[in-house]
Amino acid sequence: MSRRVWFIVAILAGITLGLVYGWVINPVQYVETSPDTLRADYKTDYVLMVAEAYHAEGDLTLAVRRLAILGNTPPLEMVQQAIVFAGQSGYSPKDVDVMLKLSQGLKTWSPETQGPQ
């Protein structure tokens, strides 16, 4: 019986010391991470902000540049993923509609015809 108790005490002490070390003494510090490492909800929020800026400015090329920050995924696919996530997560219909308008604009956008401005 005594052997089991000491085994459990040693396991609990190891877990406790590991957590204290990892959370207090030497926690992970993310430095200069890129936006493509964001969680899906933050990416969706960013796409929504780009869609709102596109709605206000009407500059599709600038919107595509802003979306490029999120990685190598094609802009239209990125916006469509955000629309799906927004629909599942309870975003307002107005927000989803703004992203849909950006999506519609991206369907007609072509890098060859628009080019950088």
Q: Per the structure block, which two tokens stand in for 26?
A: 């030497």
Cβ-Cβ contacts under 8 Å for 75 (sequence gap 6 or more): 63, 64, 67, 68, 106, 109
Burial 61-89 (b: 16+ CB within 10 A, else e): eebbebbeebeeeebbebbbebbebbeee
Count CA atoms within 13 Å of residue 3 on its CB side.
0
Q: How far apart are CA 3 and CA 109, in angstroms?
A: 71
pLDDT of the residue at 113: 54
Asked if residue 50 lies in contact with residue 95, where contact means CB atoms within 8 angstroms, the answer is no
The pLDDT-based confidence of 116 (bands split at 50, 70, 90) is very low
**pTM for the whole structure:** 0.69
Q: What is the pLDDT of residues 69-113, one digit of tens each?
A: 898 889 999 999 999 999 999 999 999 999 999 999 999 887 765
Q: What is the pLDDT of residues 1-47, one digit of tens each?
A: 799 999 999 999 999 999 999 999 999 887 878 888 889 999 999 99
